[in-house]
Amino acid sequence: MNAQEVANRLVLLCREGKNVEAINELYDDDVVSREPKGSPMNEKVGKQAVLDATNHWINSVEELHNAFISDPIVGDDFFACTMKVDATYKEHGRNVMNELCVYEVKDGKIVSDQFFYHTGN
């Protein structure tokens, strides 16, 4: 798959709430995932670390009120989209998070991602 095809597939799976499936299918085994400094998840290396962090996030949600992912913008081997999540968390209450997500694709797999959002720090 090229970057456009990976981007379209990621967006489709996320819109269906299949984030774990998206990671399993589209992420490279050695992916590097970066969150903003001050984030509890910070940098993760490897697909398993990304899956663990995603499952931790899923388990922290008490109620998901709304989730949105934009259509991707693709340039060469990179694509970006925005995500907005309105959720009530077990430990922190309700929060709305807006983020910009940037991905790099090589050989049909996501090899890196980086998320930009305010951490409140």
CATH code assigned at 52: 3.10.450.50
Q: For the whole model, what pTM was predicted?
A: 0.93
pLDDT at residue 60 tops 60: yes
Our count of domains for the chain comes to 1
51 assigned to some structural domain: yes
121 assigned to some structural domain: no
84 assigned to some structural domain: yes
Tokens, residue 66? 């709304």
pLDDT at residue 96 tops 70: yes
Q: How confident is the model at residue 81 (pLDDT cuts 50, 70, 90)?
A: very high
17 assigned to some structural domain: yes
